[in-house]
Chains A and B, each alone.
Chain A
Amino acid sequence: MTAAVDFVKARALCRIRPLRMNRSRLIAGLCAAANVLVWLSAAETGHASGTDIRSPRNANYTISVSLDPESKLLEGRQVILWRNIQAEPTQELRFHLYWNAWRNNESTWLREDRYRGRSDRGDEIRGEDWSFCEVDSIRLLGTEGGETDLMPSFRYVAPDDGNENDRTVFTVDLPAPVAPGASVEVELAWRAKVPRTFARTGFRGDYFFLAHWFPKLAVFERGAWTANQFHSATEFYSDYGVYDVEMTVPEGWVLGATGKEVERRRQDDGTVTHRYQQEDVHAFTWTTSPDYVEFQQRFEEPGLPPVDIRLLMQPEHLGQTERHFVATKAALRLYGKWFGAYPYGHVTVIDPAYGSGAGGMEYPTLFTAGTRLFNPFGGGRPEGVTIHEMGHQFWYGVVGNNEFDHAWIDEGLNSFSDARVLDETYDQWFWTERYFAPPGIERRRGFLPLLFREISKTREIDGNGFGRYRAMAVTDVQTRPTWQYHPQTASGISYSRSAIWLHTLERYLGWPTLQKILSTFYERWSFRHPTAEDFFATASETAGRDLDWFFDEVVRTAKTFDYAIDSVSSDEIAPRGYFESDGELELLAGEDPEGDDSDAKSYRSEVVVRRLGSGVFPVDVRLEFADGTRLEREWDGLYRWKRFSEEGPSKLVSATVDPERVLLLDVNYANNSKLVEPGDLWPAFKWAAKWLVWVQDLMHTMAYFA
């Protein structure tokens, strides 16, 4: 039996039943001591790959929570066993209370959300929609049954913006410092009101999706607590640990959660308690509803460990069940082969209820996809979102970067990766529009979809989010802490800009090299908290070349990339003036020296390439000639312009800078090529005529009302 299993058994023995917290302090103290011993032995085992102890397991939670669907209240008790794995001591503990972000309209989250222009929900939120998380007690458990009440030192703090109305972080003082390597165990009792969904957590009717729902320890690192307030545009950060959670819900309701169910108990009051356990994760999420329909399949692929997939579907989406499985397996297979195996052996896929707002989000060993009643195959959903969120099990779940500071690490790596999986798995996906949303609801939520099967989407443009990147290319320096980004641009930078520069790296270094970088990063930083510089260092080391120049240009600064063909010309060489011939000066008048023999004509072709953006990247320049000849020339792209001059028997037809579009970061690719003879009007006519029909029809429709 491994230390991990010992730990779980010890926790099970010591589990504190719901609402019976005070029954035996002595037992609790003994249990805490036993846990520390088990856990210390686990820690000594380390987290090397191949053992059952994968992570430091320094933040371990035992939670009992009950849900009252009528009042939308959670009542919980939890014991946290925390070990200081840093070299510095600390005499305080800091916690997140994420649901206080929607406690009132003066929270930092809602202030930022309004500024972000995404929502003016502050005026629309009804009484039942607000949420809170109130800590009723917090006690330090002693190893010999003694307890210290920490509530006297309980206080909210707002380390990011000083907002006195923000209640998303609190701190308590400890009676003595926790030395490096030492542990403390605290127990908390709390109540929380479930919000109508904000940030993908909350309720709709009898559908509940509960994420970041309990008081959660922040991360102690480099001698200080990293405990950011909850921000509108960023996500989460926690240490790894073991979760042992009991959730009590009405009987007959289906429940899905992080981890695996190990026990189920029925109570006389018509409720059922589900107990789930999971090791080596940094969060615990659950969902419950009477409507879920459960499916199970197993992922099996040579060279990769099997994974049991549990899928909870909405009844009206049963026709799309297999699409969810196919996408989940595609991600497990390709992420597994490219980066490293999925380590947990099971994953739960949630198809959230309509309008619940819970779709498209990742949690350890559980994620939400998201589809619609009418959703023809080929539009990219739910396949894209399923692959993306399954992919987050790797980039976020296993490699656990700080999403407050460097959201781009998991979002960027994952956006790049999911677009690659989508491209490899599905032949094509198409431009899609949705029509007839209820008035006042954004158009993309319309009920009726239409696929434009002659307009394909591509990985490099649509998969990577080129449009979002382009609109926000220089808004913020990417290495700035994400929570400090302009709120409207955070996703454009974290997701799209990162995916595009990673794709640029793929084209520049080649996929084998980038794949090696990413798999090395995955292996090296599994169950740890990498920073941006850790990624840069891994990239240079693995590629075997210094890539700092690239990260300087692309990530550490906010530069735009725009190379352009400024001019092209190709003229017959017709010497005029005095030229030396056989030692004599000869006056030439511009005629072809070889007479009228057209085969002997010679052309001088000149191309001027410019760097219009501030970013520098080496580029190729391709010259194409009338006889089909192609010349490729290299340019380091450093100075602002360069002239290329070629002489030959054929006339230049076109010039293209970066013809293979290696530099996907180039914001204007239309100016990357130039034809010597401009093209005709037909393409413009074709597309203008289509729009003209739309204008005419708009006029007809308006006349209908007259």
Chain B
Amino acid sequence: MPALIEIERLTKRFGAFTAVDDVSFSVARGEVVGFLGPNGAGKSTTMKMLAGFVTPSAGTARLCGEDVLERPVAAKRHLGFLPEGAPTYPEMTVAGFLGFVARVRGFGGAALRERVAHAMRLTTLEGVRLQPIETLSKGFKRRVGLAQALLHDPPVLVLDEPTDGLDPNQKREVRALIAAMAPEKAIVISTHLLEEVEAVCTRAIIIARGRVVADETPAQLAARGPDLDTVFRDLTLPAAVAADPGAAPGTVTEPA
């Protein structure tokens, strides 16, 4: 079975600056990939290219076999995407907003109501369904963004910092939700939280300065050093990356 997400030599340059440099990986059904890296490493840009929002300078990506550059609309049908910061229309109510997303995705009538209700149930938004989104707390807003991404039960989920701004209980709920969906889907989440990778991810990809510096299971990653924090620091600190990759302890540029 082909991987649901295939990223092929994806590169994005902004002028002289290379934000994403020749990134390739694929994600199969049942995998939850944690996309890690310091701020500005190219996580969001990679995800935006995957979602068809940013046009790559080179390379391409496929979602369920559909090329995001050649058949963008078909590719996006398979995708649930939570953009960075979970943007939503502030003046709309939760139900109104999810209804809009469902309509754009081609649902109508009873199917639409069922989808919206299901998405709100998954993210426990029923209590605020008629509230304007701008009146909600940060955690609720994030969950509205999540509900929007899950609404059509997509085979591919790309979530940019899904737990950012949530309290510990909400974080646990979202992780449980991701874990529950994992067997059916290919999921990529970006995060700063190393504990999140250990909690939900089956695989961790670390990116620094636009390049993939590690691609292995969280356990393998942790086994490289005393703890994940140290491993992460060694892999992503500018000094370690700038130097010859072979010279930095524990740095591997190719997946094992």
Q: Do the two chains belong together in a single complex?
A: no
Which residues of A are interface residues toward B (Cβ below 8 A)? none
